[in-house]
Amino acid sequence: MLRFTKRADYGLMAIHFIASHGDEGAVSAKRIAEEFHIPPERLAKILQRLAKKKLIAGHNGPKGGYVLTRQASHITVGQVVRALEGPLTVVSCMTPHDDCPQFARCNLRGPVQKIQAGITHVLDSMTLAELAAEPTAPVIPLASIH
C-alpha cells in the first residue's frame, strides 16, 4: 500500500498548522505536539529537518516558535515530503541505486515510472496555501464505518 510514513504525516500536519496559524506569529513546537498528540521528541526531529531544508525557521524567546520561510503558496507538499523522506520513489528500482534484483528483466518499470510521475506531479502541484484553505474534515473513527 502506498502511504506516507509517520514522519511525513506528522511533518505535513505540523507545517500545515504553522501555515494555517502564520498570522498569529510563531507557532511553538509544544502547541503543535499537544494539538496533534505527537511525541515532542519526534516532532523536534521533524521540525529540525524542515528547518535544515529551509522550509521553516525557528525563533527563540518567550514568543518563539516556528514560521514558514516563504509564503505558503511557494511551498509544495512534494517539497515537504522530500525534505523529510528524501526522493519520492514508489519502488526500489526508481532510486538512483537501482538495487532491485529484477531490474534486468522487469516488465513494470515503464508503467511504474508513469505512476511515480503522476504522484510526484500531484504532490508538487499542491501548495501549503491550498492545504490551509481546505476545511478540516471531522475525524471519523474507522470502527464506526460499516
Mean pLDDT, the chain, integer: 87
Which pLDDT tens digit goes with each residue over 13-71? 999 999 999 888 999 999 999 999 999 999 999 999 999 999 999 999 888 999 999 99
Q: Is residue 61 part of a domain?
A: yes
In the chain, how many domains are there? 1
Task: Find out whether 64 and 58 touch, Cβ atoms under 8 Å.
Answer: yes
Q: How far is CA 33 from the centre of its chain?
A: 16
Res 12 pLDDT > 90: yes
Q: Is residue 143 part of a domain?
A: no
Q: Which residues, other chains included, contact 60 with Cβ-Cβ below 8 Å and sequence gap of 6+? A: none
Q: Is residue 144 part of a domain?
A: no
Of 32, 27, 31, 26, residue with least CA distance to 14: 32
Assessment of whether the complete model's pTM goes beyond 0.85: no
Q: Is residue 23 part of a domain?
A: yes
Can you give the CATH number for the domain in which 46 is found?
1.10.10.10
* Residue-range definition of the domain harbouring residue 24: 6-86+127-134
Q: Can you read off the three cell numbers belonging to residue 124? A: 508538487
Half-sphere exposure of 78 (CA within 13 A, CB side): 15
